[in-house]
Chain A
Amino acid sequence: MRLTFTLNGEVVSLDRIAEDLPLLDLLRDTLGLTGTKRGCETGTCGLCSVLVDDALTRACRTPVTKIAGHTVTTIEGMLGPNGELGDLQSAFLEYGAVQCGFCTPAMVLAGEALLRRTLTPSREEIRRAINGILCRCTGYQQIVDAIEATAQHRRDQQKATSGGEGQW
């Protein structure tokens, strides 16, 4: 089949793609985007999570037909225009949320998916938002810290923007 979708802000069109090809294989093997990881064969580890539109999605369980015409964001798409780290990524470093790093891409995207829904998540909500992704290194606490701090940071930014408008 011919597959057209938006990947990390750019329209991608590919020919002769098998319909049942999992999105994970497309990303890693066809497109060489290896930031998205494979951790199991049963759809349980969540390491392959990416954003399809705004929803956190396991790429290993998503046939490419499902993403035709949609927008996919991988960890590579979380970087700024000049390759600089985004706010959530910086927070992961600042709060010590990265150890071996193998779960980190999925964790960042899980955090992003949550923060697109709400900027006032409780720690309990953050835990639920990353519950589908296993991490064997960190015990999750510093990941929760990083997402919580980014929510605060984005709230402050919002307030600064809207506050600025109010003054004028």
Chain B
Amino acid sequence: MVSNLRYVGNPALQNVDGADKVSGRARYVCDMVVPGMLVAKVLRSPLPHARIARLDTAPALAVPGVKAVITHADFVDDGNFGWPVKDAYVLAVNKVRHVGEPVAAVAAETEAAAMAGLNAIIVEYEPLPVIGTVDQAMAPEAPLIPEVSPTGKGNLCNSHILRNGDPAPLLTEAPVRFEATYEMPHQEHAYMETEGALAIPEPDGSVTLYANNQSPHINRDIAAQVLGLPTNLVRVIQPPIGGAFGGKDEILYQTSAQAAKLATLAGRPVKLILSRSESMAASYKRQAMRSHIVLGAETDGTLRAAKIDLTVDNGAYASGTPLASWRATMHAAGGYRYAAVHVDMQSVYTNNGYSGAFRGFGNTQASAAVELAIDELAERLGQDPLEYRLRNCLREGDATMTGDLLNQAVGLADCLEWVRDRSEWTKKRADCTAQPEDGLTRRGIGVACYFHGSGLGGEGEDFATATLKIEEDSSITLTSGLTDFGQGSRTVFTLLAAETLGVDIDRIRVLRPDTQTALDSGPTVASRASIVGGNAVRVTSEKVALLLDLAAADHLRCDPQQLIRDGEGYVGPDETPVPFETVVDHAREMGLQLSAQGRWQIRPIEWDFETGTGEPYFCYVFGAQVAEVEVSRRTGRTRVLKIWAAHDAGKILFPKGALGQMYGGIAQGLGFALMENFRFKDGVPQTLSFTQYRLPRATDVPEIEGTYIQTAGAIGPYGAKNLAEPVMIGTAPAIANAFAQATGIRVRGFPLPRVKGWIRRQSKPCPPVLANL
């Protein structure tokens, strides 16, 4: 049946909610207005680390127009939440640990009244010593940032190890040994829509929350817990979301709980929308990460062993870092063959904001470091960096750096060859080498590749659910607990249901995630919506399709096996098509219930966190990118001229959406390499606006030539694998490697420096290094 696909992979398919958005009709939470609505504002810490000596909110209530004020004391168990480390609070308790941490919140008739209320609150801080670096955090006498150390080892938040063989003797014996340290900066998600929630207290004592969160069920559970309400009295509805990229989890749980508490106290709806500067101070970031890398290779370049130490700055709260740092540990040596690899990861509390999930989830930083290292190593060996990767990259039947045997199609070499051929790599590489030493500009071309484990892996139970119902008029309603924040999952779910049921796509409507109608599907993270959520939609649709087959066969008086489909119609041996509606009506006459729910779960993987061994993921995706850059000697500015990208994502379900994900991921990777750098100075954020924190604009991003290598056999619906996250991983290191060819300067961190008047240096055995700090 799969041979003749109508929707899956159809390049003409459009985003199902695109028309709402392009017409300006889509209503995001910031656009919502309800009668009697109050405006909320949050008092946030100006200090990175301080004891709250005094907090008196009573004067705020005396301000005209103020209807409610809250602190941590208004929440059950002080509003403590967080998973896997329960160290977060809805509002600060006793102490603030980062600039922007919420301390109290006010709801008032107008924004001005709410601001006046905030100003009336009496708060006194006693500054505590600030921990602005991971080294300070790990010093023996360092003041403790969390209330209790989750590891019992001071500011150590968590650690992970990987043990695959023993690299020590191999590294000692290896004729070529490379060792270097890389520092990757914090990165801001900078979704265009800031965080927001609208809480409506209902007459029955329940609360309805509209929130731009990624995972409505988790939000509901946390809100119920901290508000002291039974779960069934909290309803979370997700409106369209203006971008997330991993960034709309914990910060939204805080924001939603604040709005909900204010609303129940005031007995009126409360809307709380963060301003941009507030969002940039209060929201979590991509972790800054240090990778100390030791690689050992044969004289011909064959990689033998790697030993890598990762130190992660997770800031004031754990958030998603314990999971993201595990993913970093599983990928730190890259998509190459090794005989032995050890990785040791330590994640440390500091007062530098806090960090959590961001596209790539730890692999973006870890892979960037190793891709810079591999490039340096290839240069030392006098080998072409792309051919060097082809010689060492993972292929079917190889074991990954964790020792996981690849019994799946592996498209990594195909990706490398595609970007090589499309970019005319060999010619361009030679042309760049032949450029005059003293030109006003110099060009360079660079490559990077990556592998990325699919789904949650050892990070948690990986399941999703869906429900499907054929309505009285034969229209179809579908729900999924996994959400769409712009990455196109609603479209993917719609097309999968249409394909599996053999109906027109217009018949199907995916409801917005609403905890009252959709079943829990776990978090919408890790690019898992298409695979896990998609399979849940597929199995649910299959259940209903089976019932319809029975009904059609009964109606046509034949065996279900004899049925064929003609468009939406069913055709039996007498060859007259019966319309879909007739089959639906007949099914109802037979007493069949035309609704179903389905659940799909990835088989549990086995990872032993104690020994650092096991099978971390059930499958992998791969990709490679080439970047061509031009660096101006006068301004020191690096311009990216073009990017070629290939990604092995199995079967592509929604081609337009998939390409959009690739282009968008590449732009974020370009920003990471060239301009984005969320800086803290002694714990104080330095980049709280888009003038200080520069994002790639249309003239910064070059034309991109991208493709998907569609390998077969993946377990996603119709053979799909994931793509939204990993597509950004290759970009930043490819750009830095191109920069190295252009300038002779090897960087060991991002963003790339602007070095005016640099003089091209001949490559030396140990190239000059600019540590970027």
Contacts and interface: CB of A to CB of B under 8 A. Distances in A.
B131 to A, nearest CB: 30
Given A32-B33, A104-B22, A141-B701, A40 B689 contact: yes
A38 B31 CA distance: 10
Interface in A59-114: 74-76, 78-79, 83, 85, 89, 92-105, 108
B191 interface: yes
Interface string B646-664: 0000000000110110111
B664 A103 contact: no
A135 B657 CA distance: 16
Nearest to A36: B24
A94 B663 CA distance: 16
B339 interface: no
Contacts of B20: 101
A157 interface: no
A152 interface: no
A126 B192 CA distance: 21
Contacts of B453: none
B689 A100 contact: no
Nearest to B17: A101
A42 B191 contact: no
Contacts of B488: 99
B486 interface: yes
Interface stretch (B100-108, B240-248, B560-568): B240-248
A55 interface: no
Interface stretch (B254-262, B429-437, B503-511, B690-698): B690-698
B226 interface: no
A123 interface: yes
B23 A79 contact: yes
Given A99-B487, A136-B245, A89 B192 contact: no
B276 A39 contact: yes
A124 B22 CA distance: 23
B25 A35 contact: yes
A45 interface: yes
A5 interface: no
Interface in B10-45: 14-15, 17-28, 30-31, 33
A136 B191 contact: yes
B487 A127 contact: no
Contacts of B189: 136
B27 A34 contact: yes
Interface string A14-56: 0000000000000010001111111111101101000000000
B277 interface: yes
A140 B698 CA distance: 6
A75 B691 contact: no
Contacts, number: 177
Nearest to A127: B698
The SS class assigned to the A binding surface is loop
A136 B192 contact: yes
A95 B656 CA distance: 7
B24 A100 contact: no
B689 A42 contact: yes
Given A123-B703, A139-B701, A45 B192 contact: yes
Nearest to B668: A136
A51 to B, nearest CB: 13
Contacts of B689: 40-42, 44
Contact of B22 (A34, A36, A37, A98): A98
B193 A39 contact: yes
A160 B274 CA distance: 50
A102 B243 CA distance: 8
A143 B666 CA distance: 15
Given A42-B690, A139-B701, A140-B663, A75 B192 contact: no
B15 A134 contact: no
A94 B14 contact: yes
Interface string B482-497: 0001111000000000
Contacts of B4: none
Nearest to B192: A102
A131 B697 contact: yes
A137 B664 contact: yes
Given A131-B697, A139-B667, A140-B701, A93 B15 contact: yes
Contacts of B241: 100
Contacts of B698: 126-128, 130-131, 133, 135, 140, 143-144
Contacts of B664: 99, 136-139
B151 interface: no
Interface residues of B, number: 57
Nearest to B694: A44
Secondary structure at the B interface, as helix, strand, loop or mixed, is: loop
A144 B699 CA distance: 11
A40 B20 CA distance: 23
Given A99-B487, A136-B191, A141-B703, A85 B663 contact: no
Contacts of B703: 123, 141
A142 interface: yes
A39 B273 CA distance: 11
A154 B657 CA distance: 26
Nearest to B26: A101
Given A101-B22, A140-B698, A134 B659 contact: no
B192 A139 contact: no
B224 to A, nearest CB: 28
Contacts of A28: 31
B334 interface: no
Nearest to A91: B22
A40 B190 CA distance: 11
B485 A93 contact: no
A102 B242 contact: yes
B18 A101 contact: yes
A99 B27 CA distance: 15
A36 B659 CA distance: 27
A126 B660 CA distance: 18
Interface string B671-700: 000000000000000000111000101110
Contacts of B701: 139-141
B240 to A, nearest CB: 6
A36 B30 CA distance: 11
B665 interface: yes
Contacts of B15: 93, 96, 98-99
Contacts of A139: 660, 662-667, 701, 704
Contact of A136 (B243, B276, B487): B243
A37 B450 CA distance: 37
B191 A40 contact: no
A136 B695 contact: yes
Contacts of B635: none
Contacts of A89: 22-23
B275 interface: yes
Contact of A34 (B31, B245, B485, B657): B31
Contacts of A142: 656, 659-660, 663
A99 B20 CA distance: 11
A110 B193 CA distance: 19
Interface string B148-159: 000000000000
Given A130-B698, A137-B243, A139-B667, 20 more contacts: A37-B193, A42-B690, A83-B23, A85-B22, A93-B18, A96-B656, A99-B486, A99-B487, A99-B657, A102-B242, A102-B486, A126-B698, A127-B699, A134-B690, A136-B191, A136-B667, A137-B664, A139-B701, A140-B667, A143-B698
16 contacts: A28-B31, A41-B689, A42-B690, A42-B691, A44-B691, A93-B14, A99-B486, A100-B191, A101-B26, A102-B242, A128-B698, A135-B192, A138-B667, A139-B660, A139-B663, A140-B698
**Which 3 residue pairs across A and B have the least CB separation, nearest first?**
A35-B24, A100-B486, A101-B21
Interface of A: 28, 32-42, 44-45, 47, 74-76, 78-79, 83, 85, 89, 92-105, 108, 123-124, 126-128, 130-144
Interface of B: 14-15, 17-28, 30-31, 33, 189-194, 240-245, 275-277, 485-488, 656-657, 659-660, 662-668, 689-691, 695, 697-699, 701, 703-704
